[in-house]
Amino acid sequence: MGCCSSQPIDFNSEVNLFHFDLHRAVGKGAFGKVRVVEHKKTKKLYALKYIDKSRCIRQKAVANIIQERRLLEEIDHPFVVNLRYAFQDDDNCFFVLDLMLGGDLRFHLDRKGHLSEEVVRFWVAELASALVYLHKRRIVHRDLKPDNILLDSDGHAHITDFNVAIHYSERRLHTSVAGSMAYMAPEVIGRKGYTWCADWWSLGVTTYELLFNRRPFEGRTTDRMTNSILKDAPKFPDGPNLRCSSAAVQFVQGLLERTVSERLGCKPGGNTFEDMKNHPWMSSIDWAKLTSKQLQPPFVPDTRKANFDVSHELDEFLMVEKPLTHTKRKANLDLEKLKPELRQLEEQFTVYDFTSSQRRSYYPHNQPITTVVRSSGSEPMSVIQSQTHTLQPTATMAERSLAGSPGPDTTWHQPMHLPLASIS
């Protein structure tokens, strides 16, 4: 599969889809798919995430796509799925990202049913390293969960999907609800105001799920899930069913602390990374070797097999949806005649090429855009807060974090005082 055109390709021009050969489909999101692509000049493989513009506009997600594009340009870390190229054609916006052939943690959790403590600890250490890096750059992910953690072919964990990530403010707390409900911190779902510490709660829920193959907070309805997150104490298996050390339980309990000032990694005057490294559960980790990927992962995925749902590829062959093809852009595009949303994409979803572009920060101009919540499945659902402070999953709205949001609680909301050298 790929371009069959005999026209020569100018690799010195702006990057576009003609620079890549298209291979198999490996994933599907809210607005498009993910495919393996090969750069025709370098022969390097990447993951191509492509977003259908019309579908994006219908779901009022233009600002989120632009926000994700900007945030990814700022990031370059060994445990993040990094952006390498960004561009668009008349129908789609494209993200070209590091290729992860090991599958996501949801895939492996569903198939193995039980993951060893050693494996989980290794992944959590890598994820903690990535979160500290993001928080240092004033980025809160807001949707950390097994589905958004990908393994490379060697077994290293990487955070992906920055669609609802934002720059957090050091002057006020955010109140917009975003993410996947089962992994939301109580200060998020309860609208008490939150910042980067919400990600550590999500890591706690993820760690619990990886260890015990179930989530600590459950509820078949939105109200029950909300009540569980706000009030229920996480329950741990007893005796031989525990299958992990007491240090692991203590680590998870530290992350699932509802009082933010007492949560692991969020204590006043503390150093997030040092708190993680000094915890007894992490005593076996050589952090210098971990961050340079010199440690051998205890779990290596079998890349001879498909570590993803093969139905994505079947959809492509059966043409269930419009197949992706190399298409030249319309000449002499007149921005004045475009619909506002299309013009916004043309102007703000700018070209990025990691071989020639300088990474830049968009802070503080990249602010929260909309309220997006995901259920335990992958499809997003918008929510609105009622006068009785219950979540209404079927109501649709676009919401910004308002200027009248609660001010910071000085007992815990403070800038990240982390030396760059410790998280690079």
Comparing 222 with 336, the larger pLDDT belongs to 222
With 0-12 / 13-18 / 19 or more C-beta atoms within 10 angstroms meaning exposed / middle / buried, residue 277 is middle
Q: Residue 377's pLDDT is what?
A: 46
pTM for the structure as a whole: 0.83
Q: Which two tokens stand for residue 6?
A: 């005999």
Residue 249 has pLDDT above 80, yes or no: yes
pLDDT bin (cut points 50, 70, 90) of residue 170 is confident
Give me the mean pLDDT over the 283-301 stretch: 95
Beta bridge partners of 139: 167
Higher pLDDT: 194 or 360? It is: 194
Tell me phi and psi for residue 127, to 5 degrees: -65, -40
Q: What domains does the chain contain, in order, with CATH numbers?
A: 17-100+307-353 (3.30.200.20), 105-304+376-422 (1.10.510.10)
Task: Say how many residues make up the chain.
Answer: 424
Percent over 90 (pLDDT), the chain: 60
Which of 52, 143, 147, 161 is the catalytic position? 143
Q: Which residues contact 224 (CB under 8 A, 6 or more apart)?
A: 218
pLDDT of residue 408: 35
pLDDT at 169 over 90: no
Cβ partners under 8 Å of residue 161, min gap 6: 29, 143, 147, 148
Q: Is 161 a catalytic residue?
A: no
Mean pLDDT, rounded, for 88-104: 95
Q: Give residue 254's pLDDT.
A: 96
Q: What is the mean pLDDT of residues 351-364?
A: 84
Mean pLDDT over 211-236 rounds to: 93
pLDDT at 326: 87
pLDDT of 403 strictly over 50 = no
Question: Binding site membership: which residues?
Answer: 49
Confidence of residue 391 (pLDDT cuts 50, 70, 90): very low
* Cα–Cα distance, 82 to 103 (Å, whole number): 16
Burial class (CB in 10 A: 0-12, 13-18, 19+), 289: exposed
Full 3-state SS string of the chain: CCCCCCCCCCCCCCCCHHHEEEEEEEEECCCEEEEEEEECCCCCEEEEEEEEHHHHHHCCCHHHHHHHHHHHHHCCCCCECCEEEEEECCCEEEEEECCCCCCEHHHHHHHHCCCCHHHHHHHHHHHHHHHHHHHHCCEECCCCCHHHEEECCCCCEEECCCCCCEECCCCCCECCCEEEHHHCCHHHHCCCCECCHHHHHHHHHHHHHHHHCCCCCCCCCHHHHHHHHHHCCCCCCCHHHCCCCHHHHHHHHHHCCCCHHHCCCCCCCCCHHHHHHCCHHHCCCCHHHHHCCCCCCCCCCCCCCCCCCCHHHHHHHHCCCCCCCCCCCCCCCCHHHCCHHHHHHHHHCCCEECCCCCCCCCCCCCCCCCCEEECCCCCEECCEECCCCCEECCCCCCCCCCCCCCCCCCCCCCCCCCCHHHCC
Q: What percent of the chain is modeled with pLDDT above 70?
A: 79
User: Can you say which residues are annotated as belonging to the binding site for ATP?
Assistant: 49
Confidence at residue 321, expressed as pLDDT on a 0 to 100 scale: 60
Q: Is residue 30 scored above 70 in pLDDT? A: no
For residues 44-51, give the mean pLDDT: 95
